Amino acid sequence: MVINNSFYNRINKIQGGQTAPPSQKPTETQGDFGKILQEKVQQNAGVKFSKHAEMRLQSRNINLTQAQKEKIGDAVKRAEEKGVKDSLVLMDNMAFVVSVKNKTVITAVNSSELKDNVFTNIDGAVFA
């Protein structure tokens, strides 16, 4: 505080007492954090399914295994590397229209409906 151009310090030092030792951050927790972060990133690396795609999967009796979902995710990564924005992913007599940017499956078609079908609004196709 300044009074008449003189500085007055109203805070006094604590007399006596003990000071706490400096704390050290354990390196194990940092490793755990990195591990957890990496796991979360890998979980999010997979594709999501829009509500429309989920409805199509149910109505067309398409049950995807985890391995098939991973294949779709790999196909999306390959499409992304080539600069594709919206892709048609063909796999196991099924087709999926995928937003590569959002990593989201937009719709799904089974083998019986692949005939005489036209896919629009895509700029790339990937065989998985």
Nearest to 62 by CA among 103, 105, 123: 105
| Domain spans in the chain, listed from the N-terminal domain onward | 47-127
For residue 78, give both structure tokens. Answer: 């390959």
Across 38-62, average pLDDT: 82
Nearest to 90 by CA among 118, 125, 116: 125
pLDDT of amino acid 105: 96
pTM over 0.85: no
pLDDT tens readout for residues 81-107: 999 999 999 999 999 999 999 999 999
